[in-house]
Amino acid sequence: MQVNITFRHLEPTEALKAHVKGRIEHVQRFLDRPTESHAVLHVENLAHHAELTVKAGRFLLRGSAKSKDMYASIDEAADKIERQLKKHKSKLQDHKNGHVEPVPVEVRHDVIDIIDHPERPSHRVAKSRVFQAKEMNVDDAILQLDLLGSQFFVFQNAADRVINVLYRRDDGSLGLIEARSS
């Protein structure tokens, strides 16, 4: 794990470096992937600011705190990141334990090419992918859409087990399509 530490208006001491590394290693026990971390420590007036950023895969977690003691600021910022991770993991765990094993639904995603013919245009499948739509609620789907950085996300709604498509509109808001059978 790589830890970068930036000091601003503050003497870089080995004790502060060791404390930051120790707190980030403590946070890493909640992560499945190797991480990259960055800490910015600075003093402004009499307030000691600590800003920690931890990157693990597609996750980017941030915690910042200020107090009269730099060590307390570092601890508080790390605790904020730890709470974010625990909250996310408990959501996933509650989702798993709160339901009967979901029936997987296969979804096919095709990318269509339009071929121009002089007589008539036609279409062909350029790329196809099959995946299983996971059962989750709309809030979890929004979280997944944001984490993936995608324009759309297909999932099975846990409330009614219907396939839904959550998509990002041109104006930045989100849309939801519910596919009900007739």
CATH of residue 71? 3.30.160.100
Same domain, 50 and 118: no
Q: How far apart, in whole angstroms, are the C-alpha atoms of residue 151 and residue 173? A: 11
Query: Which of residues 24 and 113 earns the better pLDDT score?
Result: 24
User: Is the confidence at residue 73, as pLDDT, over 90?
Assistant: yes
Same domain, 19 and 39: yes
User: Is the confidence at residue 93, as pLDDT, over 70?
Assistant: no
Q: How far apart, in whole angstroms, are the C-alpha atoms of residue 111 and residue 88? A: 32
Amino acid (1-letter code) at residue 174: L
Same domain, 129 and 63: no
pLDDT digits (tens, 9 = 90+) for 14-67: 999 999 999 988 887 777 666 788 999 999 888 999 999 888 766 678 889 999
Of the listed ranges 49-53, 69-73, 111-115, the least confidently predicted one is 111-115
- What pLDDT is attached to residue 121? 65
Residues 6+ apart with CB under 8 A from 4: 37, 38, 39
- What pLDDT is attached to residue 19? 93
- Mean pLDDT over residues 69-92, rounded? 85
Same domain, 19 and 92: yes
Same domain, 162 and 144: yes
Q: How far apart, in whole angstroms, are the C-alpha atoms of residue 48 and residue 124? A: 61
Categorize the per-residue pLDDT at 72 as very low, low, confident or very high, splitting at 50, 70 and 90: very high
Q: How far apart, in whole angstroms, are the C-alpha atoms of residue 114 and residue 94? A: 44
Residues 6+ apart with CB under 8 A from 169: 175
- What pLDDT is attached to residue 43? 92
- Report CA-CA distances (Å) from 41 to 15, 50, 54, 180: 13, 5, 15, 53
How far, in whole angstroms, is CA 11 from its chain's centroid?
34
User: Is the confidence at residue 10, as pLDDT, over 90?
Assistant: no
Categorize the per-residue pLDDT at 76 as very low, low, confident or very high, splitting at 50, 70 and 90: very high
Domain count, the chain: 2
The residue out of 97, 117, 138 marking a domain boundary is 97
- Phi then psi for 80, rounded to 5 degrees? -65, -45
What stretches of the chain adopt beta strand conformation (E)?
2-8, 36-44, 47-56, 59-67, 105-115, 122-133, 135-136, 152-157, 163-168, 174-179
Same domain, 110 and 167: yes
Same domain, 13 and 82: yes
CATH number of the domain to which 127 belongs: 3.30.505.50
Same domain, 39 and 80: yes
pLDDT digits (tens, 9 = 90+) for 124-175: 777 777 767 788 888 888 888 887 777 888 888 888 888 899 999 888 889 9
Same domain, 90 and 11: yes
Q: How far apart, in whole angstroms, are the C-alpha atoms of residue 67 and residue 136? A: 39
- What pLDDT is attached to residue 65? 92
- Mean pLDDT over residues 83-87, rounded? 81
The residue out of 71, 97, 123 marking a domain boundary is 97
- Phi then psi for 30, rounded to 5 degrees? -90, -5
Domain limits for position 37? 2-97
The residue out of 74, 97, 120 marking a domain boundary is 97
Same domain, 115 and 149: yes
Same domain, 76 and 119: no
- What pLDDT is attached to residue 102? 53
Query: Which of residues 107 and 4 earns the better pLDDT score?
Result: 4
